[in-house]
Amino acid sequence: MPRSLDDWRRSEATALPGWIKPQLTRLVAEAPDGPDWLHEIKFDGYRMHARLDRGAVRLLTRTGLDWTHKYPAIAAAVALLPARQAYLDGELCGVRPDGTTSFSLIQNASDTANSDALVFFLFDLLHLDGEAIAPMPVTERKERLRALLSDAGSPLHFSDHQIGRGLAFYDHACTQKVEGIVSKRLDAPPRDSRFGSPLTLSRVHWVRPELVAEVKFLSWTEDNLLRQVVYEGLREDKPAAEVRRAVPYPKAPEPARPASPSKRPRSG
């Protein structure tokens, strides 16, 4: 028998989590349509969690690293929220004059310790003042988040959404030259479930490869795209059909050290 929302609230632990593994998205080729989907803008930045505990703030990366020291202005803004305890999910971004986000801007701000130039777009609330918010429907979580941020100004921004009309939302996102969109089912299971993961639709369109280029890049995104790409030149010596993504070999185990000879007592 399915558990009700009240059952979830009673059974879930109410202690503030130390870190929650972020729910990742799944890349799809077409935006879902219909009234059962919620759509948000996809940002080009660092996925970041903010953990507020009685004025003390920790900014945590998608792997649980504590980056609070890198972005003190963001942490200070979170500390001013009207809550004793909260756990928020969002994207830390650099914003261009036209309103679009740029990964290079956040990289520059990080390198120069200028976090004042960054914006923290918040799109989910997972815990609030002893109450587990994660099991609630996504619309209820976002309304609770909207209320929490109602008096917060820059650098904290609520990431708004649209319900339904996913194809039109994606088309409009393309005209605004944003990174893409993220779509979430309104009736998805609790947030910590492996089912009902949000969907991502990127503005990148795949084509049949014919040329091979040598590039340098910073990292791979969760959508299997390259970040911070620097073009080095064409490789006419390699056919495109033979190119594969390089996968690092696991580190070889260190050879076992020979056992040291036991020391024998010296005879007198």
Per-residue pLDDT tens digits for 192-231:
554 567 988 877 666 788 888 878 787 777 667 787 788 8
Q: Which of 132, 158, 184 is the C-terminal boundary of a domain?
A: 158
Q: Could you tell me the CATH number of the domain that includes residue 148? A: 3.30.470.30
Q: Per the domain annotation, does 62 fall within a domain? A: yes
Question: Among 158, 179, 200, where does a domain finish?
Answer: 158
Residue-number span of the structural domain to which 238 is assigned: 213-242
With CA atoms as reference, report the closest residue to 91 among 112, 80, 105, 79.
105
Q: State the Cα torsion 217-159-62-120 to the nearest 10°.
A: 80
**Residue 133: what are its φ and ψ, rounded to 5°?**
-90, -25
Looking at residue 191, its pLDDT comes to: 64
Residue 218 is predicted with a pLDDT of: 74
**Which residue, 114, 138, 158, sits at the end of a domain?**
158
CA dihedral (133, 187, 166, 223) in degrees, to 10, reads: 70
Distance CA 208, CA 226 (A): 17
Question: What pLDDT is attached to residue 240?
Answer: 84
Tell me which of 76 and 179 has the higher pLDDT: 76
Q: Is residue 34 part of a domain?
A: no
- For the chain, the domain total comes to 2
238 pLDDT higher than 90: no
Residue 48 and residue 118 in one domain: yes
Q: Are residues 143 and 225 in the same domain?
A: no
Q: What's the average model confidence in pLDDT over 130-142?
A: 94
**Residue 169 CB-density burial (10 A; 0-12 exposed, 13-18 middle, 19+ buried):** buried
Question: For the ranges 128-132, 167-171, 238-242, which has the lowest average pLDDT?
Answer: 238-242
Query: Using one digit for the tens of pLDDT, what is the confidence trace for 35-86?
Result: 999 999 999 999 999 999 999 999 999 999 999 999 999 999 999 999 999 9
Task: Let me know whether 153 and 217 are in one domain.
Answer: no
Please name the residue ranges forming H helices in 100-163: 103-111, 138-148
- Tell me, yes or no, whether 232 and 148 share the same domain: no
Q: What is the mean pLDDT of the chain?
A: 84
**b/e sequence 211-239, b meaning 16+ C-beta within 10 Å:** eeeeeeeeeeeebeeeeeeeeeeeeeeee
